[in-house]
Amino acid sequence: MTAGSLRFRGPAAALGPADRRALLDRALPGTGDVRTAVRSVLEAVATRGDQAVAELTARFDGVRLERFEVPRARWRAALERLPAPVRTGLARAARNIETAHRAWVPVGATVETEPGIVLERRPFPLARVGVYAPGGRAVYPSSVLMGVVPARVAGVGEIIVCSPAAADGAPADPILAACELAGADRAFAIGGAQAVAALAFGTEQVPRVDRIVGPGNAYVMEAKLQVSDRVGIDGPAGPSEVLIVADRSTPVEVIVAELIAQAEHDPRAAVVALLVGDGIDAAGVEAALAAAADRADRREIVAEALRGLGAILTVPTLEEAVAFANEFAPEHLLLAFDGAERWADRFSVAGAVFVGASSSVAFGDYLTGGNHVLPTAGLARSYSGLGPADFVRWTNYQRVSAAAAARLAADTAALALAEGLPGHALAARQWEAR
């Protein structure tokens, strides 16, 4: 990479309409070809079940399977084979995720709107959920923890993990080890859109679930979107994103390291540094980034991300930084400037906000206990990160005493007749004389 490879630079206010649109209106990666291919996979699994799953797994993953489920003994063996530092890290992450998510379990509430009228809203755990864990070129055991632990904490009846099979017919050892540590109930060696289809429709071997969560490639995400009319999903997501707000107090190496860390995820990642105020050398930051990108182990991916949606922009004030950040609505927002704590509440539109230069996004990806399954592509304006609330459904209860029913009858009947529903009016007015 060279310094000239960065796509966007200069004052944020000077971005032209096309550049501003490209940066702010980031699209999810699905295309017409992806949609068509996924639709074909879903139809095949819906009509032919396990036979279609086996054929698709052989075609896409090069693995022929008759039985998809991975025995529990294999999970435990994978955990025992795991290098001690990785095992220690995963166990620590699982503990912190559980601690945090237990504090966030939804609770019901009861309210009396008028004397004798009592309303209640209660959360109930879902019966069965599916957690998708990417495999193949990259293996993400942390994503298993991020999906399984909150579901278990929420009280889900059965938690199923699906992840692509390696050459030996099972998901990679770190995935299976994470299933054991997180407390999953079952694991299946299937991936891609066929795994989403199996979870959504159910097959002879794979039970149908009530919700599907977890990250994946464009085909997995498109499959989740296409089955969302019959099963809950955690929301659409795409390539990783970070927006770093920094000022002259921020070490340049911090800015550069955070940009590289997210850029190495995906060539379509969005990585932006927003430099605030006077005295910060934007050209120097860009030169340091170029040098670090050239040294990066995943330099080709990093360079492509920087060419695609990489930016070093400047704004004169923190007020303008707030406005830009809330419009950008990033997956990860790192507030690395001096006094970040005082401004944190104003930066409210993001999947997760990391307050202070030492609050590295990498810590949140793995060990803090926060969830790393977060909205991307500006969808933080509408969606939230994964948590226990994604694994419950809500039921409303209403209690109306006879005395309260008599008081409600006339007004209810008037509204019903105004809407042309005389049957509703009659149902209400029968309580007037009781």
Q: What is the DSSP string of 296-363?
A: -TTHHHHHHHHHHHEEEEEESSHHHHHHHHHHH--SEEEE-STTHHHHGGG---SSEEEESTTS-HHH
- Whether residue 41 lies inside any domain: the answer is yes
136 with 171, same domain: the answer is: yes
Structure tokens at 157: 């009846």
Q: Which run of H or E residues covers position 130?
A: strand 128-132
- Whether residue 375 lies inside any domain: the answer is no
The answer for 292, left when phi > 0, alpha when psi is -120 to 50, beta otherwise, is alpha
pLDDT tens-digit profile of 157-202?
999 999 999 989 999 999 999 999 999 999 999 999 999 999 999 9
Interatomic CA distance for residues 350 and 331, integer angstroms: 6
Which residue range is the domain that position 73 belongs to? 32-106+125-233
Whether residue 326 is predicted with pLDDT greater than 60 in this model: the reply is yes
What pLDDT band is residue 434 in, cutting at 50, 70 and 90? confident
197 with 289, same domain: the answer is: no
204 with 269, same domain: the answer is: no
- Whether residue 347 lies inside any domain: the answer is yes
What pLDDT band is residue 1 in, cutting at 50, 70 and 90? very low
204 with 61, same domain: the answer is: yes
Interatomic CA distance for residues 293 and 270, integer angstroms: 15
- Whether residue 393 lies inside any domain: the answer is no
Q: Look at residues 233, 261, 278 and tell me which one is the last residue of a structural domain.
A: 233
Return the percentage of the chain with pLDDT > 90, whole number.
91
pLDDT tens-digit profile of 386-433?
999 999 999 999 999 999 999 999 999 999 999 999 999 999 999 997
Structure tokens at 234: 């955690």
283 with 336, same domain: the answer is: yes
Q: Look at residues 190, 209, 233 and tell me which one is the last residue of a structural domain.
A: 233
209 with 306, same domain: the answer is: no
**For the chain, first and last CA: distance in Å?**
82
Structure tokens at 269: 């990642």
* CATH number where 302 lies: 3.40.50.1980
Interatomic CA distance for residues 77 and 75, integer angstroms: 5
Segment 340-355 shows an average pLDDT of 97
Give yes or no for a contact between 369 and 96, defined as CB atoms under 8 angstroms apart: yes
Interatomic CA distance for residues 336 and 255, integer angstroms: 8
DSSP helix/strand/coil, 92: helix
Q: Look at residues 165, 200, 233 and tell me which one is the last residue of a structural domain.
A: 233
16 with 98, same domain: the answer is: no
DSSP 186-206: EEE---HHHHHHHHHH--SSS
Whether residue 307 is predicted with pLDDT greater than 80 in this model: the reply is yes
Q: Choose the weakest-confidence range: 12-16, 135-139, 212-216, 378-382.
A: 135-139
Return the percentage of the chain with pLDDT > 70, whole number.
98
What pLDDT band is residue 30 in, cutting at 50, 70 and 90? low
Segment 300-319 shows an average pLDDT of 96
Enumerate the β-bridge partners of residue 352. 332
pLDDT tens-digit profile of 140-157?
999 999 999 999 999 999
153 with 193, same domain: the answer is: yes
Q: How many domains does the chain have?
A: 3
- Whether residue 112 lies inside any domain: the answer is no
Whole-structure pTM value: 0.93
pLDDT tens-digit profile of 202-252?
999 999 999 999 999 889 999 999 999 999 999 878 899 999 999 999 999
- Whether residue 380 lies inside any domain: the answer is no
Whether residue 264 is predicted with pLDDT greater than 90 in this model: the reply is yes
What pLDDT band is residue 4 in, cutting at 50, 70 and 90? very low
> Higher pLDDT residue, 217 or 258?
258
24 with 36, same domain: the answer is: no
Residues belonging to the active site: 331-332
Backbone angles phi, psi at 18, to 5 degrees: -70, -45
Mean pLDDT across the chain: 95
- Whether residue 420 lies inside any domain: the answer is yes
175 with 98, same domain: the answer is: yes
Helix axes 299-309, 252-263, angle to 10 degrees: 100
- Whether residue 336 lies inside any domain: the answer is yes
pLDDT tens-digit profile of 364-382?
999 999 999 999 999 999 9
What pLDDT band is residue 29 in, cutting at 50, 70 and 90? low
Interatomic CA distance for residues 50 and 97, integer angstroms: 34
Q: Which residues contact 19 (CB under 8 A, 6 or more apart)?
A: 8
pLDDT score, position 3: 43
280 with 364, same domain: the answer is: yes
Segment 85-114 shows an average pLDDT of 97
332 with 407, same domain: the answer is: no
